Amino acid sequence: MSKTDRSQQLVNWFNSEKLKDQRELDNNKKKLISDIKKLKKEELFPKPIKLSLWQKIKIILLGR
């Protein structure tokens, strides 16, 4: 086996590994995008609850 054959094999192997990694990365990106699309705005940013004056006083005096 000549040195050029071996180097060509290594280049081919490297390219195939690079392609495999790129496919895996693309699949992970697609999965992440679909997971993000499934989330709802209300889950990420819940609306603050308006407390009455008495509820605020109770929280300050008694704690949560």
Calpha distance 29→3 (Å, rounded) = 39
Residue-level pLDDT, tens digit, the chain, 64 residues: 577 898 999 999 999 999 999 999 999 999 999 999 998 888 888 888 899 999 999 999 988 6
Question: Is the whole model's pTM more than 0.75, yes or no?
Answer: no
Within 13 Å and on the Cβ side, how many CA atoms surround 23? 6
Calpha distance 48→13 (Å, rounded) = 55
- 63's torsion region: left (phi>0), alpha (psi -120 to 50) or beta? left
Calpha distance 35→12 (Å, rounded) = 35
